[in-house]
Structure formats: C-alpha cells, structure tokens
Structure 1
Amino acid sequence: EGVHYLSLVTDAYSRKIMGYELSDEMKATDVVKALDMAIESRQYQRSTIHHSDRGLQYCSKVYQEKLNKNDIKPSMTDGYDCYQNALAERINGILKQEFLLYDCKDLEELRHLDEESIFIYNEMRPHLSLGMSTPNQVHKKSQVRTHLAFN
C-alpha cells in the first residue's frame, strides 16, 4: 500500500518507547499524536528536554506549541548528522532489523506488527547498555527512585 512512517518518542534514560504513531504521511499532526501518547503516559513531572532532528514536522508550529504547553524544552541537532541523534537511530535500527522483517499486506497489519514489536522491545528485550534489563524495568526503577527522592 505504499510508504508508511512510524513516529517514536523515547525516554533517553530508560530507552523505553513512550509514544508512537503510524501513518501514511509525515505530517506534524501525526508526530504530535506520538508526543501526546508519551505525555499521557508520563508518571512523573520533572524537567524534560525533547531532542530531535530538524525535520519540518518537529519544527512546525503545532509541534513546538505542544512542547511549550507541556513545559518541555526543545533541542535539535545542529545539522543532518545521524550521530547527533544516535539514540533515535539505534532504536529505529533495532525495530527494522529485529522486528519489522516482512512486508505487510496493509496498514492495519503493519499497525498490529508495530504495536507488538514495541511491546516486545519495551517489555521483553534486554539491552546490554541497560545492564541486560528491559527498557520498562529501567523506567520503573527510575520512577521509584524519583518518587522516593521527593518524599
């Protein structure tokens, strides 16, 4: 059915995918949906920085307004060097190389595969960089530490 785009919002500390949106276009409103999911799933309020490349969707008024409304500071690469957004590139590579391995017949099948892949990535796939813990295990531990630190 053509090209599709998967927008991801990831917690840099835990590597957990916090929000995502699959679409057949790369519109600013689509990436805002991934950001909305991440904002809704936040379980703690602390200073937050959103780092991205310089894609038009991230520079858009609607996206920047959403960041500002939620007190999230924007940060962008200073050029188009993939190493400046290495975490996002790494996660994209993991999803493509380990999970999204076959062509789906339609958008709904791809949507189901994406949801399943993100679940497995967050809940079951250990990361060497996380001491062989899963992103969700590390994310939960950081919430407990934050909660205890502010009690």
Structure 2
Amino acid sequence: MTTAARHARTACEAPGLACFDNAVAESFFATLKTEIGTTVWATRDDARRGVFAYLGYYNHDRLHSTLSYRTPHEVRGGYRQDLTLVA
C-alpha cells in the first residue's frame, strides 16, 4: 500500500470524521451511466469518442442544479473574472 493510500485510509477511519471525498466522483459516474445508458460501441475508439463527447456536453451544455442551474464552464469562467491581482 502506498503512503498516500495509507494516509487516505487513516483520515477516513479517524473518529468523528466522515469520509465523503469521492461523493462528487460517484455522483458524476452515476449520471454518466444513466445518461449514456447501455450504449454498445463497435470499437474502443468509438467508446472513447462517445465518452469525450459526453464530457463536452456535461461541462459546456448540461445545467447543474448544484451550480444554480449553470454549466461548470460558466462557473469556472465566473471564478476567473472575480480574481484581482495583488502587487
């Protein structure tokens, strides 16, 4: 087991701490499975193109309720605009 894996495991097992590190990833993959469904591609390259096309849709077109019904792309752009340079 790697040092990082041991550290992550210790952090999750610490008393009083909840381990929700992967909740966002689990939610994304559940959505991916739901929206792509049981699509069967002829080749691995076709599958890769299909998933990457979905990622483009997910980040640039799909509205997310947790982001006030905006796309991740819009939210990311808003963060950049709020930054100010400090001497």
TM category, shorter: 0.7 to 0.9
Structure 1 gap ranges (5+): 1-55, 65-74
Q: Does 1:104 align with 2:41?
A: yes
Q: How many residues align?
A: 78
Correspondence 1:2-151 to 2 at 5 A: 59=2, 76=8, 78=12, 83-146=20-83, 149-151=84-86
Deviating beyond 4 angstroms after TM superposition, the runs of 4 or more aligned structure 1 residues are: none
Structure 2 gap ranges (5+): none
> CA distance change for structure 1 residues 82 and 110 in 2, over 3 Å: closer, same or farther?
farther
Cα deviation for residue 150 of structure 1 reads: 2.3
Aligned-residue sequence identity (percent) comes to: 22
Higher strand fraction (1 or 2): 1
Cα deviation for residue 83 of structure 1 reads: 4.2
Higher helix fraction (1 or 2): 2
CA contact (8 A) 1:127 1:133 kept: yes
CA contact (8 A) 1:100 1:117 kept: no
Alignment TM-score, normalising by the size of structure 1 = 0.44
Q: Provide the secondary structure at the position in 1 that maps to 2:22.
A: helix
Equivalent-residue separation in structure 2 for 1:82 and 1:98 (angstroms):
27
Equivalent-residue separation in structure 1 for 2:39 and 2:49 (angstroms):
13
Cα deviation for residue 82 of structure 1 reads: 7.8
Cα-Cα RMSD: 2.7
With CA pairs under 8 Å and 6+ residues apart, which has the higher RCO, 1 or 2? 1
Equivalent-residue separation in structure 1 for 2:30 and 2:19 (angstroms):
12
Alignment TM-score, normalising by the size of structure 2 = 0.72
Equivalent-residue separation in structure 1 for 2:50 and 2:35 (angstroms):
12
- Superposed CA deviations along residues 68-110 of structure 1, whole A, max 9, x for unmatched, are xxxxxxx84626x984410110111111111354111210010
